[in-house]
């Protein structure tokens, strides 16, 4: 067989799909190294995939869409046991990237019974338990002797921690905290794996000592008997019921009825309560700031991966699906031939690459900031926090949009759960709400932008953080995007900077102006919030473009550089057209320049076409991981759709019980009444 | 109790919700008459709701999200039997509006085992069976002695009927048609209720007589034994498996293995095959044109209703949910206070009203066109067909977007199936794909627009249809939206006309220009298709605005007129801002005018706030119909979320089987290995 650049080609594949792969101009393994930030990790991903492929006990026993929640949880628990047992044979257990890949392949994206144990419980103990407490609990948690989660949000209360209702009242006499849920709205609600799996939780409650409210604190709380797993006395606990997705995770509720825990269960790394009730303050107020930044940085990569799942499925299927004619003298064409289809998919392929590059940069930035914080320099933390708030919001929004576009691009079969698209959407779109609701996140970034705008307006631009330094720069009078060599992106970046700067300063003006007219600050803020959020989005999208540009500049391999440059061209023109109102408004971009942008957009749609399948193949998702009949690597869609349908639960019997019980009698009585 | 304008107020309701209703300035019953096009029907809806409320056997035995597909189908079949039996006591059986309401309340939106029987099977027999055939089959179908569906699309083939693979080959010797499925891709795929419920189907197949292909024809085909309901010999049939939504409907597959039916099962109203194989041509080629227009006209109303389900849920919940502070000296506020929340919901409330008014106008137009067709005047049919293609696409797109915005506006609890939001989304978003995929639909409209543009360009504007007459008019040089009294909408309409005209003529120019440069017509068309679709959307959105304006002008009641005028203000400003690129590009709208548009937008968000709950209440959806814990009329959300969660299937046992089988042993062995 000829040696192709696209490494996904196999004998016996659907020739329509192979034809698309043969036209690929770059090595997909090398591109995977770009996507996953190192040749080593990209290779390890493939090796892990191969090991899993050879172990049938790690495969799904049947398609997820055919299982009830109970069956999915049982299946997931079975695999979790196996993974725990054989982890060392498959991955380097301390490598979180390898663990992430193993989980995605074997357990899938719908959650599992110990998801929060690793993501929240262990980190919470690590960050907040004293050394003595860690010896007692952390070791047991790491060994999986106990299963835990982190319980913060309540039925009636989200991010506003001061307003939580769960109380922990110190009883000096017994040296115990009494946990109590005073109302239904004070029930802990939503924590993953709280409902059924966990026997411990780190619980956030308002701490009261001698009548004084010391605000939210964290406590290590036993929930269930370690032997029987029955809920302990004084604990009301259960699953909150089915959700859009993530149904393998038992999100739970938790109520306390004057439930007592020892004083020493208050997590005491940064704070302390003496036996007599004396409170010892934590040294820093915002000790947990960086944990949020950490989670959000990694979320961006996770979202990019889910977007790419959907794009892989849709792009492959579009190469196999033939429908309609462009030239009526010719046979039906692949739907990927249609410009409307390319316009649905390719700009999102570009976004997925942009997101994963921006995510990698953010993780790196986070690591740098952590080092600086260790040396006492916290200057960049605020910038980074603002940036990740915006990225989390913008990336999760476009990811959800892109998955839906990809699903609809698959026509009717995209609507079938055989595509797995709706599950991918359901999981990904959760990212718009968890870890900070998107509107709230954008407003957090806006607060930072308004502060920065205020520096600009008071002539203190030199004090601007590096991520907002452009706010203090002077704009050119007009954009030059159509007058530079097509290989340079500097004029595009300038244009995006101009747009973000103008909207930021304008929205800040609105806010300041309302206060000058006599509105109270919070009212002025609320009245400006839609315009402020627009500024936050534009600022974030500028950062994403810049990260994409920086990455492309770094790439050495000329074949990769060429296709990534095409993708970046597509990206900047698509984004600019999408936000062109802001560019046109003050004449920075002219009408004829916008026509140029459109021409470029359509030019690059066509130019990317021969690489489209290779660009999605480069993410190297196995069929096991994708779980999609439409997205199969081999392109043999139709026979497998038929096999999938025949295996679905409703086809176990030819005549449904509902037909015997209701439909047949209905028809029979109609026939009889006629006689 | 005081007599309030909002008729949904009851004693004992959540006072936060009552407070919102008390501020309503108009009679919600009167508004319902606007929404449902007549006082009589609005009243009948309420009466039907009351009858159903008093019959517990017509209520859900448990929440739908707690049921498997099999349970849902069983439950639906149970109710279907009851409805069939008691129909005359509840509704006027020949009134399709009343039937629609009854189905939504009792059966719900997820489909039912006889959905296609009424929507497709009976209409197909009515339109295509001869009188003799109707006597034989139609009467039996209407009496429900048999259950049927309509089978057209195939696994590998959608709208392109000429490329279907299923064949019906005439055997002169036995006077039979032999139905055959030559390949897997030729399996009938997707028809609702084909899989399990139907014992008959009207099947579309390519008809071959003496070796000649006569193209697609319809046949009445028995699928299952009438007594046993077992599939007949030569028939392969089953359910296609779970989907995003509509899982109470058994969408099915169907294959034929040289399956014989009598010659007389060819539906012969318009076409005939003699015993000797002589083919008698139909008089008209496009006999089914109006059926599509009919379905699409009604789809628009159905989509508006689903959008309003989601908005009702989100707006009520936003009046009850308190989160965060605007003024930190004050208690937590209703999330409806936030401008960002208003901006998420209110423009979609306006769109829902706009859609239902446009839908009603289209149905009326359809009825007028039908009358004209009866007198031989088919001039308006092409206009109407183009219009409904565009409306179907634009309305279903924004409906899906709006439902998702409404769901996300509910924060975490929107993600729970207790909100029922994801099911509403899943059902509604199907409308983007079925009855003509949206991109294809927009291109159908574009064909009509390009024809119209070509009339304009050749000086034949007088020949333009009434719906595109504006394409031939001359634009003013600039918009005057900010210079007219605020009560007039003429300048806005002119602006939307200018935008739609400019894009239509520009996209048509692109298409014509490519041909002039030597591209073949179909290639030129494909290369212009994204721009053409943009024109189709703008044309359609113009029509929606105009329909809204016309309706508001008709309203007599001054209280209704005032609030609908506010809503229309919100609508035109929101839409104009959303498409402002097109308005700015040629300077028709200036930057300062766009600032005016933004100010108007925020002004009307605030102005509508006191009527927001009344505007959604006016749709008069009962709790039974909404099936949403978050959307309850009484606003008692939290205690009912708790009750719902406790009743969910996972809480049947304290310790899940998966814990006993896997999680407990996992922890036990970890503890043991440490000893």
Band of the pLDDT at A247, cuts 50, 70, 90?
A: very high
pLDDT at res. A255: 98
Q: Measuring CA to CA, which residue among A290, A316, A347 is closest to residue A548? A: A347
Q: Is A11 a catalytic residue?
A: no
Is B57's Cβ below 8 Å from some Cβ in A?
no
| Measured distance between the N- and C-terminal CA atoms of chain B, rounded to whole angstroms | 72
Compute the Cα dihedral for B91, B112, B647, B312 and give only its sign.
negative
Supply the mean pLDDT for chain A: 95
* A427: closest chain B residue by CA: B415
**Contact between residue A266 and residue A282 where contact means Cβ atoms under 8 Å apart:** no
Rounded to a whole number, what is the distance in Å from the CA of A408 to chain B's nearest CA?
A: 7
**Which of B663, B665, B673 has the most A C-beta neighbours within 10 Å, making it the best mutation to test the interface with A?**
B663
pLDDT higher than threshold 80 for residue B283: no
- Window 346-375 of B: residues touching A by CB (8 A cutoff) are none
B46 touches chain A (CB under 8 A): no
Which burial class, exposed, middle or buried, applies to B328 when counting CB atoms under 10 A from its CB (0-12, 13-18, 19+)? exposed
Q: Say how many CA atoms lie within 13 Å of B37 toward its Cβ.
A: 12
Given the residues A435, A546, A620, A625, the one annotated as active site: A435
pLDDT over 60 at A350, yes or no: yes
How much is the pLDDT for A294? 80
Among A residues 138-157, those touching chain B with beta carbons less than 8 Å apart: 143-147, 153, 155-157
Q: Does A10 score more than 70 pLDDT? A: yes
How near does any CA of chain B get to the CA of A384, in Å?
Answer: 24
pLDDT average, residue stretch B397-414: 98
pLDDT in tens, A33-49: 999 999 999 999 999 99
Give the pLDDT mean for A227-242: 98
Contact B655 A418 (CB under 8 A): no
B15 CB burial (10 A radius; 0-12, 13-18, 19+): exposed
Nearest-CB residue to B644 (from A197, A241, A598): A241
Q: Does B417 sit within 8 Å of A243, measured CB to CB?
A: yes
Region of residue A476 (phi > 0: left; psi between -120 and 50: alpha; otherwise: beta): beta
B165 or B286, greater pLDDT: B165
pLDDT of amino acid A643 = 98
Q: Which of A160, A415, A671 sits opposite B430 (nearest CB)?
A: A415
Find the mean pLDDT for residues B117-139.
Answer: 94
Closest CA to A16 of A285, A320, A330, A264: A320
Examine the pLDDT at A675 and tell me if it is beyond 70: no
Q: Which of B159, B430, B670 sits opposite A143 (nearest CB)?
A: B670
A430-486, pLDDT tens digit by residue?
Answer: 999 998 999 999 999 999 999 999 999 999 999 999 999 999 998 888 999 988 665
Would you state the pLDDT for residue B263? 98
What local confidence, expressed as pLDDT, does residue B285 receive?
Answer: 52
Evaluate if residue A165 carries a pLDDT over 90.
Answer: yes
Question: Residues of B with CB below 8 A from A339's CB?
Answer: 526-530
Instruction: With H, G, I as helix, E, B as strand and everything else as coil, classify residue B224.
Output: strand
- What is residue B485's predicted lDDT score, i.e. its pLDDT? 63
Is B462 in CB contact (< 8 Å) with chain A?
Answer: no
Closest chain B C-alpha to A470 CA, distance in angstroms: 23
Cβ A411–B581 below 8 Å, yes or no?
no
**Is the predicted pLDDT of residue A283 greater than 70, yes or no?**
no
**CATH code for the part of the protein at A30-112:** 1.10.540.10
Can you identify the CATH homologous superfamily of domain B118-280? Answer: Butyryl-CoA Dehydrogenase, subunit A, domain 2 (2.40.110.10)
pLDDT confidence tier of residue A284, bands split at 50, 70 and 90: low
Strand-strand pairing, A212-222 and A200-209: antiparallel
Name chain A contacts of B240, Cβ cutoff 8 Å: 416, 645, 648
Of B70, B411, B673, the CB nearest to A437: B411
- Residue B289 is predicted with a pLDDT of 60
Kindly report the nearest CA distance between residue B58 and chain A, in angstroms. Answer: 15
Question: Which pLDDT score, from 0 to 100, does residue B288 have?
Answer: 53
| Residue B287 pLDDT exceeds 50 | no
Which residue in the set B195, B433, B638 is minimally distant from A415, CB to CB?
B433
Tell me the residue length of chain B: 675
Q: Which residues of A touch B437 (CB under 8 A)?
A: 408, 411
Average pLDDT over residues A552-562: 97
Do the two domains A30-112 and A147-280 of this chain adopt the same fold? no
Give yes or no for A161 touching B (CB within 8 A): no
pLDDT reported for residue A287: 47
Q: Touching check for A523 and chain B: CB below 8 Å?
A: yes
CB contact under 8 A, B77 and A244: no
pLDDT digits (tens, 9 = 90+) for B492-545: 999 999 999 999 999 999 999 999 999 999 999 999 999 999 999 999 999 999
Q: A523 vs B581: CB contact, 8 Å cut-off?
A: no
Looking at CA atoms only, how far is residue B212 from chain A in angstroms? Answer: 20
| Mean pLDDT in residue range B108-116 | 97
Domain ranges of chain A: 30-112, 147-280
CA distances from B634 to A329, B295, B410 (A): 62, 35, 17
Q: Over pLDDT 70: what percentage of chain B?
A: 98
Known binding-site positions of A: 153, 192
- In whole angstroms, give the CA distance from residue A214 to residue A220: 17
Q: How far is CA A438 from CA A109, A152, A567, B189, B410, in A?
A: 21, 19, 27, 39, 12
* Predicted pLDDT of residue A158: 84
Residue B337 touches chain A, beta carbons under 8 Å: yes
How confident is the model over A402-420, as a mean pLDDT? Answer: 98
**Does residue B342 have a pLDDT over 70?**
yes
Question: Over pLDDT 90: what percentage of chain B?
Answer: 88
Neighbours of B86 (CB within 10 A): 14
A-interface mutation test, from B658, B661, B665, B675, most A Cβ less than 10 A away: B658
B193 Cβ neighbours under 8 A, 6+ residues apart: B113, B114, B115, B116, B117, B147, B149, B249, B250, B251, B252
Q: What is the pLDDT of residue A573?
A: 98
How much of chain A is in helix, strand and coil states, percent to nearest 5?
A: 60, 10, 30
- Over residues B162-193, the pLDDT tens digits come to 899 999 999 999 999 999 999 999 999 999 99
Q: How far is B32 from chain A (nearest CA, A)?
A: 31
Give the H or E element holding residue A561: helix A558-578
Which chain A residues are within 8 Å of B432, Cβ to Cβ? 408
**Nearest chain A CA: its distance from B119 CA (Å):** 18
Q: Which residues of B are catalytic?
A: 435
For A480-535, the pLDDT digits (tens) are: 998 866 557 999 999 999 999 999 999 999 999 999 999 999 999 999 999 999 99
Interchain CB distance below 8 Å, A531 and B443: no
**What does the DSSP 8-state code read for residue B76?**
H
What's residue B284's pLDDT? 59
Long-range contacts at B650-655 (CB < 8 A, ≥ 24 apart): B650/A69, B650/A70, B650/A195, B650/A196, B650/A238, B650/A239, B650/A241, B650/A250, B651/A195, B651/A238, B651/A239, B654/A229, B654/A230, B654/A231, B655/A196, B655/A228, B655/A229, B655/A230
- CB within 8 Å: B70 and A143: no
Quick one: pLDDT at residue A159? 75
> Which class is domain A147-280?
mainly beta
Q: What pLDDT, in 10s, does the model give residues A72-93?
A: 999 999 999 999 999 999 999 8
Is B663 in the A-facing interface, judged by CB distances under 8 Å?
yes
Contact assignment for B242 to A412 by CB distance below 8 Å: no
- Mutate which: B61, B64, B77, B534, vs A, most A CBs within 10 A: B77
**pLDDT recorded at residue A486:** 59
Q: How would you classify the pairing of strands B200-209 and B167-171? A: parallel
Distance CA A386, CA A381 (A): 9
Per the annotation, binding residues of A for FAD are 153, 192
């Amino acid at each position: 067989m000829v040696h192709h650049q696209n490494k996904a080609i196999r004998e016996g594949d659907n020739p329509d799909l192979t034809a698309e792969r043969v036209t690929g101009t770059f090595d997909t393994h090398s591109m995977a190294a770009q996507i996953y930030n190192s040749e080593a990790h990209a290779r390890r991903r493939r090796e892990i995939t191969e090991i899993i492929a050879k172990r049938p006990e790690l495969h799904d026993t049947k398609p997820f869409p055919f299982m009830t929640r109970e069956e999915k949880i049982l299946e997931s628990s079975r695999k979790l046991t196996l993974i725990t047992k054989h982890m060392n044979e498959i991955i380097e257990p301390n490598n979180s990237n390898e663990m992430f890949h193993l989980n995605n392949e074997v357990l899938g994206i719908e959650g599992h019974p110990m998801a929060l144990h690793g993501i929240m419980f262990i980190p919470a103990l690590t960050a907040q338990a004293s050394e003595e407490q860690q010896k007692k609990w952390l070791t047991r948690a790491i060994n999986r002797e106990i299963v835990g989660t982190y319980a913060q949000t309540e039925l009636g209360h989200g991010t506003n921690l001061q307003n939580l209702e769960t109380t922990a009242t110190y009883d000096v006499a017994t040296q115990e905290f009494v946990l109590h849920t005073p109302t239904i709205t004070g029930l802990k609600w939503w924590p993953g794996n709280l409902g059924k799996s966990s026997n411990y939780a780190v619980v956030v409650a308002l701490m009261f000592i001698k009548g004084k409210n010391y605000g939210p604190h964290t406590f290590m709380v036993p929930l269930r008997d370690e032997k029987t797993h029955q809920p302990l006395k004084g604990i009301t606990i259960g699953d909150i019921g089915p959700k859009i997705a993530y149904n393998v995770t038992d999100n739970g509720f938790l109520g306390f009825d004057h439930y007592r825990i020892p004083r020493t269960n208050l997590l005491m790394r940064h704070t302390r309560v003496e036996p007599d009730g004396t409170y010892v303050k934590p040294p820093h107020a915002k000790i947990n700031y960086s944990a949020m930044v950490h989670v959000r940085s990694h979320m961006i990569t996770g979202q990019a991966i889910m977007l790419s799942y959907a794009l892989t499925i849709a792009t492959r299927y579009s190469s196999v699906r033939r429908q309609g004619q462009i030239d009526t003298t010719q046979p039906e064409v692949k739907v990927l031939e249609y410009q409307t289809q390319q316009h649905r998919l390719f700009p999102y392929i570009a976004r997925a690459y942009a997101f994963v590059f921006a995510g990698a940069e953010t993780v790196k930035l986070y690591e740098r900031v952590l080092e600086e914080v260790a040396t006492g320099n916290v200057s960049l933390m605020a910038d980074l926090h603002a940036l990740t708030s915006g990225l989390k919001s913008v990336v999760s929004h476009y990811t959800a949009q892109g998955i839906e576009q990809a699903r609809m691009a698959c026509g009717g079969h995209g609507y079938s759960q055989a595509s797995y698209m709706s599950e991918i959407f359901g999981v990904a779109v959760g990212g718009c709400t968890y870890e900070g609701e998107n509107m709230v996140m954008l407003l957090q970034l806006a607060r930072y932008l308004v502060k920065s705008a205020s520096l600009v307006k008071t002539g203190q631009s030199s004090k601007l953080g590096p991520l907002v330094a452009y706010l203090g720069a002077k704009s050119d009078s007009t954009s030059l995007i159509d007058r530079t060599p097509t290989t340079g992106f500097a004029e595009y970046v300038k244009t995006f900077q101009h747009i973000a700067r103008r909207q930021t300063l304008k929205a800040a003006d609105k806010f300041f102006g309302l206060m000058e007219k006599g509105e109270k600050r919070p009212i002025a803020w609320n009245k400006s919030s839609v315009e402020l959020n627009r500024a936050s989005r534009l600022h974030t999208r500028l950062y994403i473009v810049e990260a994409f540009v920086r990455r492309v500049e770094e790439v050495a391999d000329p074949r990769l550089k060429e296709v990534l440059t095409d993708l970046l061209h597509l990206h900047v023109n698509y984004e600019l057209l999408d936000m062109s109102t802001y560019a046109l408004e003050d004449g920075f971009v002219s009408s004829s320049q916008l026509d140029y942008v459109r021409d470029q957009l359509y030019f690059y749609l066509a130019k990317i076409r021969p690489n489209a399948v290779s660009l999605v193949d480069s993410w190297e998702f196995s069929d096991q991981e994708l779980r999609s009949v439409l997205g199969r690597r081999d392109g043999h869609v139709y026979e497998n759709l038929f096999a999938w349908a025949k295996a679905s639960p409703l086809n176990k019997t030819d005549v449904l019980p509902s037909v015997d019980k209701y439909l047949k009698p209905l028809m029979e009585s109609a026939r009889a009444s006629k006689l």
